[in-house]
Amino acid sequence: MTRVKICGITEFEDARDAVLLGADAIGFNFYPKSSRYVHPSRAAKIIEKVPPFVTIVGVFVNHPDPQDLEDFAVSIGLHAVQLQGSETPDYCSMIQRVKVIKAFSVDSNIRVDTLKNHGSGTFLLDGCSPGTGTGFNWNLVFGANAFGSIIIAGGLTADNVSGVVTTLHPFGVDVATGVESKPGRKDYDRMRRFIEAVQRADVAMFGDS
């Protein structure tokens, strides 16, 4: 079944609601220039209250020291780090104690076979302006599943997410803007409708098992 990540969490209430609605993962953005940036101390207090079986992901952009990033991730309780910058395969390989999700911006020049050069095995494919809700042509990444676990982001909403699930069969989908009332604040009904749309698409493909 397709996993759902609700990203850009800044409030405990939003994390709680996302989990209760069935999100498999929640994300915290530690990139200071992001409109969804959350201070580590605030994120830590939210993470403490998140129940088991929910994956906690931290978003980073070109952090200068992979070992320092890894130490931070472990200390705050992250299960995975999502690297949204120009991090190299060597950089990614230096992070061992948490999972690595390497993000790529998709444009007409992308070649999905280059994913195999990154050893993390889990890749997030996003629009060229991450965090803005801008999507991309899904046909450009058709077949990416052959090179790892693929998470699709960028411009997803309750109205179009079923299309990406049935077209690309991704490991997961990632949404922030598409379930918000404003940057960093989630809308309960939009989250509910998004997660339900993913579940309906899965049932349509695989049956209610």
Per-residue pLDDT, 208: 64
Neighbours of 16 (CB within 10 A): 16
The CATH number given to whatever domain includes residue 55 is 3.20.20.70
Residue 168: exposure state from Cβ atoms within 10 A (0-12, 13-18, ≥19): buried
The question of whether 174 is a catalytic residue gets the answer no
Which residue among 14, 24, 126, 202 is the active-site one? 126
Which residue among 7, 14, 24, 92 is the active-site one? 7
Per-residue pLDDT, 60: 98
- The per-residue pLDDT for range 50-76, each reduced to its tens digit, is 999 999 999 999 999 999 999 999 999
Tell me how many domains the chain contains.
Answer: 1
Mean pLDDT of the chain: 94
The question of whether 92 is a catalytic residue gets the answer no
Residues of the chain with pLDDT under 50: none
Domain around 93: 3-206
